[in-house]
Amino acid sequence: MAENLTDRQAAEAVRDRLSWAYALGLELTDTGFDFTVLSQFRTRVVEHHLKEKVLDLLLERLTEQGLVGAGGKQRTDSTHIVSAVRGLNRLELAGESVRAAVEALTVAAPHWVAGVLDVPGWSHRYDTRIDTWRMPSSTTKRDQLALTYARNGFALLSAVYSALRTLAARAARGADPAHRAAAELHPHRRTRRSRGGGPPDQDRGGR
């Protein structure tokens, strides 16, 4: 929590950072653990009412090492710690959901994505997995990022439904759906194309 890392990032740090391995008393050959172990551990601690016991032991050890002074301002209550970690994980999940959707659409309908998602910041924000970069340290910036993810997700969903409505309207009129992007997004059309249906030029979008 002090590092503002998600569970996945913390597990990676155990494998990649010597300082973390030393702090945990691990051998250099230790391969670490799956990030889900952390949430499972927190769940067991809560279920067996060991929250205060774990934190008291941690605080005692930190005090012995001179890392926490008596009467300091460090928050050591379990509610605060669990809440902070949960918030980071939820923020990561929100961003990764949008990124995964953009990635899937880019594979299915690259031309449509290039035309619709030409928005400043999208490429930088969603070109890599969300868990590969550090979350903002301040609550204000994390809230702003969460709002950005929400707006981006809503805009993406609206664009997809708009394209599908356009395709449905053309199909209802009996017109040839020449708009390749909308056609690529339509699951039934994609199925027919994968089975070899339609003229060759139509399958290639007229190119």
Residue 98: which of 44, 46, 45, 157 has the closest Cα? 157
Q: Which residues contact 5 (CB under 8 A, 6 or more apart)?
A: 13, 88, 134, 135
3-class state of residue 35 by DSSP: coil
**pLDDT, tens digit, 9 for 90 and up, residues 12-70:** 888 888 777 777 788 878 888 888 888 888 888 778 777 677 777 877 777 777 766 65
Prediction pTM value: 0.50
Q: Where are the domains of the chain?
A: 89-207
CA distance 4 to 88: 8
Name the pLDDT band for 147 (thresholds 50, 70, 90): very high
Provide the residue type at 15 as one letter: R
pLDDT given for residue 149 in this prediction: 92
